[in-house]
Copies of this chain bind each other. A is one copy, B any other.
C-alpha cells in the first residue's frame, strides 16, 4: 500500500491579520514555537508518508515561501493553482497528479494550518484509516470528539455500530450549527466535529467526483492528459479557470452514500482565531501570553504579539494586541472572529500594502 498526502495550503487566514497576509498567511507563520504551521504539518507525516509522496497545493504568491520553508520537499511536489477554486478543484487536481503515478494509491488530505498535540496517536489513527480505505477502496473522514458546543465547525453524524476496528459509517454531514443545535449535537453523542481531514483510495475520490461533480471531473481529466508534457501549464491555466468553485465537503462528501469515519483523538485544534492562539499559548501567573518585550501592570488574560517593539500594557484585560511592522490590532478576545472584517475593510479600500 502506497500512501500519499495532499496538503491544502492556499488559504489566506484573514482572522490572523495583521500577522497573516496574502503572501504570508497562517500556514507560513510561526504561531507556536520554532516551526511554521506548514513545517509542523509536514513534519508530523515523517514515518507515515514518504517525502516524495507529499503533494502541496498552493497558489503562486505563496509557492516561493513554501519552497523556502520546506527545502526537503521537491519543487514539483509544490503545485500552484492558477486560480483559487476551493477544495474540490484542489483535491481533483492533486488526485489526477497522483493517479498518473499510482492508480492504487491511498491519499490522506490535510489542511496546512492545524495543530495536533499527539503525533503518535495521529499517525496510528491515519495508518488504521489508510488500511481500511485501501482494503475497501473507500472514502473516509476523521471526526473529532467535541469538547464544547462549537458553532464554528461542521459536524458529522455517525452510526455507533462500528463496521471495522474503530471504523464507523457516516450518517450525515451537518453544516455549522447555531448554538442550540450545537448543544443538541453534543447531547446525542453521535455527532463529531468535521476536521477537514480525509482518507481515500484514489479510485474512490475520482469515482465520487465523476458522480457528483461531472464537469469538474471532465476538467481534471483534461488536465491529467497534459501532465508530463510541455502543454501542462497552459492547459492547467485554461481549464482550471473554468472549474466550479466548491468545497469538497459540500460538493462530494455530503452527497456521497458510502463514507466511513474514524475517530481522531490526538489533540486536534484548527487554531481558527487569535482567541484559539491565546488558549493554546503558555501563560504567566496573570494568565497573560506575551511574545516580545512587554511591561504589564494590572493586566490579565491578554495575548500580546510584538516581537520588534517594546510594549506597555496597563489596566487591560482580555485583549489581543498584535503589533507588526505595518499595522496594529487591538481586539477584545470575544471579538476574535471579527478580525476578518478588518481584511474586508482593507480590500474595500484597495489597501494592498496591508493585505
Q: Which residues of B contact A345 (CB under 8 A)?
A: 295, 312
**Tally of this chain's copies:** 2
B314 in contact with A335 (CB, 8 Å): yes
Complex interface residues of chain A between 271 and 318 (CB less than 8 A to chain B): 295, 297-298, 306, 309-316
A101 on interface, CB distance cutoff 8 Å? no
Q: Among A59-67, A75-83, A166-174, A323-331, which stretch is in contact with chain B?
A: A323-331
- Separation of A334 and B317 alpha carbons in the complex (Å): 13
- Separation of A137 and B326 alpha carbons in the complex (Å): 59
A330 in contact with B321 (CB, 8 Å): yes
- Separation of A334 and B315 alpha carbons in the complex (Å): 8
Q: Which residues of B contact A341 (CB under 8 A)?
A: 297, 314
B314 in contact with A329 (CB, 8 Å): yes
A351 on interface, CB distance cutoff 8 Å? yes
Whether A311 touches B328, Cβ cut-off 8 Å, given contacts A319-B316, A323-B323, is yes
- Where the two chains meet, the residues of A that have a C-beta atom closer than 8 Å to any C-beta of B are 17-18, 295, 297-298, 306, 309-316, 319, 321, 323, 326-332, 334-335, 338-339, 341-342, 345, 351, 354
Can you list 25 pairs linking A and B with CB atoms under 8 Å apart? A18-B312, A295-B342, A298-B332, A298-B335, A306-B328, A309-B327, A310-B326, A310-B327, A310-B351, A311-B327, A312-B328, A312-B329, A312-B342, A313-B330, A314-B330, A314-B335, A314-B339, A314-B342, A315-B331, A315-B332, A316-B319, A321-B328, A321-B330, A323-B323, A330-B330
